[in-house]
Amino acid sequence: MNKFQTDMAHETNETPAAVGRLIERSMQGILEVGQRIAGMAPPFVATCARGSSDHAAAYLKYALEIATGTPVVSIGPSIASIYEAPLRLSDVPLVTISQSGQSPDLLALQASAKASGALTIAVVNTEDSPVAREADIVISLDAGPERSVAATKSFVSSAVAVAGIVAGWTSDAALTRALIGLPEALDAALRVDWSALTPALMKRNSFYVVARGPTFPIAQEAALKSKETAALHAEAFSLAEVMHGPLALVRDSFPVLALLPEDRAARAGREALERLVAAGGNVFSASEQPAAGIHLPFASTGHSALDPLSMILSFYCLIEQVCRERGNDPDRPVNLRKVTETV
């Protein structure tokens, strides 16, 4: 390893090994958590998270709603920590996702949910943390320490954990097999070259990341990483929503990154990209099948629900480089710190 490698780059490169540990040590238990929740037949599932962890929660939302039809709702932590509103979550699973497990507002919401009768599940990278200690069930990510402010390996590990919950709930053998083989695909994702996008991001101060379904929260994660590391403004939009007001900015070669796995939304996504190109957008599409704009390769995971995780790892590699070329330090973003303790 180059001694000048940033912590963000180092931790991004550790992701396949971190996911491998999670699968080897905990996947059977995670599948059993999914089976237990399925046995509860809950009317809905609730989530509690902030930042990158909230993107993992939204990934769970799409994946679980598509697979089971069970609604997944995100509860704002301030409902408990600030507004002190009583919750009604009897016999409902609450999944709290947190890298540090320390934020007081997440702990307050988890405690309120537990008092109302919820089954509390903590997905955390710090097993000895307040959120983990107070939860009914703990899924330890075991991703190892993260020194960079930007969460990388812990985010991907969180997404893998919630995908495992879905696989267990649905007894989806294909998804389970793809999860077991995921470390190899993620290792390949580290070597995927997205540098074709670099000049467009160096020339502009804003761009869009677009996707649909389970990939949309991954687009949100890419936009967040662009802002917090490279100080580059980015917004994530559904490929349906971008056709409304946001389309007005897509002119004069405005950069657009599209994440387009080959799922049921892919055909509509390719049609939307044609409209974005026609509107004047400088479109870059990570896709398996041909799509409008400049093609970006990605490492297939063997399952469309997991392909977004390969894509975000390739994006982490790209944005770390763009950050440095723009004169920023991805490990020490202005005004940010690793653990944010909100109330």
Domain assignments of the chain as residue spans, ordered by start:
7-182, 188-325
Percent of the chain at pLDDT above 90? 90
pLDDT at 335 (0 to 100):
62
pLDDT at 135 (0 to 100):
98
**pTM of the full predicted structure?**
0.95
Round the average pLDDT of the chain to a whole number and report it. Answer: 94
Confidence bin at 331 (pLDDT 50/70/90): confident
Architecture of domain 188-325: 3-Layer(aba) Sandwich (3.40)
Exposure b/e, 148-173, CB count within 10 A at least 16 = b: bbbbbbbbbbbbbbbbbbbbbbbebe
Tell whether domain 7-182 is in CATH 3.40.50.10490.
yes
Sheet order of strands, 254-260 included: 233-238, 206-211, 254-260, 281-287, 294-296
Q: For residues 62 and 217, is the Cβ–Cβ distance under 8 A?
A: yes
Q: Which of 87, 270, 43, 295 is nearest to 192 (CA)?
A: 295
Instruction: Write out pLDDT tens, residues 28-66.
Output: 999 999 999 999 999 999 999 999 999 999 999 999 999
Exposure b/e, 94-130, CB count within 10 A at least 16 = b: bbbbbbbbbbebbbbbbbbbbeeebbbbbbbbbeebb
pLDDT at 343 (0 to 100):
62
Residue 12 has pLDDT above 60, yes or no: yes
**Is 188-325 the same fold as 7-182?**
yes
**β-sheet bridge partners, residue 236:** 209
Instruction: Write out pLDDT tens, residues 275-321.
Output: 999 999 999 999 998 899 999 999 999 999 999 999 999 999 999 99
Instruction: Write out pLDDT tens, residues 71-127.
Output: 999 999 999 999 999 999 999 999 999 999 999 999 999 999 999 999 999 999 999
Distance in angstroms (rounded) separating the CA atoms of residues 117 and 114: 5
Residue 2 has pLDDT above 50, yes or no: no
Mean pLDDT for the stretch of residues 331-335: 77
Residue 334 has pLDDT above 90, yes or no: no
